[in-house]
A and B are shown apart, each in its own frame.
Chain A
Amino acid sequence: MKIMNCPLNGPRNISEFTCLGPVHDAVDAQSVGDAAWCHYLFYQENKAGIIREWWRHTPSNYYFIAERHTVTDEIIATYSASELPRIENKS
């Protein structure tokens, strides 16, 4: 069984987690145009390489961010969403 490290609960079987898709900037629903709104809802970059994704540890309903390589499926890092600004400033 593949193991993923939950920032709250520690290392757990991957079957305890749900992937919720890539992290991307929210749009302002009041001012955004149709094309941008459509792009926000239905398009994903789908790049080959390391991406940031939302994941959820299902038994504790804890949402966090994982960095995963889409080609090798290796999970590089996991961290709380509150750490994202600090990590983005560093990179």
Chain B
Amino acid sequence: MALLAASRRTPLGDVYAEHSDGVLSSIDTTLIRTTVVPESHGEGPIELLDLTRYARFGIKGKGASDWLRSKAIALPEPVNTLAPVASRKLDLVRLGAEDYLVLPQSVGQSASLAALRSAWESDGRERKGFNAWREEVWAWFHIHGANVADFLAKTCPVDLNADRLPLRSVVQTRVAQLDCILVRTDRTNDHGFDLFFDVASANFMMSSLKELGAA
């Protein structure tokens, strides 16, 4: 019980403590990888990582773009693209004219993200967008593998092949019959997508993808 009281859980029940900075690799090696499709006939596996435990921050609404510009952050153009913010080691995803999601480039390193969040919270200006509560309401998975686009084609209506959807593209569509945002990040240096969807449906998403993998 002491463990439960002191730690947080992802929607899939993965117990974790708040992450301190200093994890050098872009993916924490302690993460549990779920194999959705096992390796077979010389084709690599398709694996899924639950990144829900890691920090992210979203703002939307009137003033959000101006606030980000005031911090010397170049906005992604057009909508539905990701732009790296190299100076802050962040990735900025644009989901709408005034709708942004900020991700750490290295998921274990959240100091820069926390600083940006803190600057936004303490800013007294009237129009700065509003907090979209992306940590609280969205689960965050990463699915990757050489054949990940073919695999997701079983459940996603958009063509996700690498030649149709370049790196840093964003697709807002449905996966496993759930509203889902896919961002092509290739964060394991493999063809891969970050998935953001309703946090209460994380278990359903996981079991649906595993079932599809077994089919």
Within the assembled complex, what's the spacing in Å between the Cα atoms of A15 and B174?
9
The segment from A30-38, A43-51, A55-63, A66-74 that touches chain B is A55-63
Is residue B181 within 8 Å, beta carbon to beta carbon, of the partner chain? yes
With both beta carbons as reference points, the residue of chain B lying nearest to A9 in the complex is identified as B172
**B183: CB under 8 A from chain A?**
no
- Can you name 18 A-B residue pairings with CB atoms under 8 Å? A1-B157, A8-B79, A8-B96, A9-B171, A9-B172, A9-B173, A12-B173, A16-B157, A16-B173, A58-B179, A59-B172, A59-B173, A60-B95, A60-B96, A60-B172, A60-B181, A61-B96, A62-B96
How many A residues are at the interface, by size bracket?
10 to 19
B residues near A15, Cβ cutoff 8 Å: 174
Q: How far is the CB of B70 from chain A (nearest CB, A)?
A: 24
Contact of A13 among B157, B171, B179 (CB under 8 A): B157
With A59-B172, A59-B179 as contacts: A12 and B95 at CB distance below 8 Å: no
Give the secondary structure class of A's interface.
mixed
Interface 0/1 of B77-96, CB less than 8 Å to A: 00110000000000000011
**Nearest Cβ in chain B — how far from A62, in angstroms?**
7
Residues of chain B with a CB closer than 8 A to A8's CB: 79-80, 96
Q: Which residue of B lies closest to A16 (CB)?
A: B174
CA distance A61 to B172 in the complex (A): 9
Cross-chain contact B180 with A59 (CB below 8 angstroms): yes
Q: Give chain B nearest CB distance to A36 CB in angstroms.
A: 31
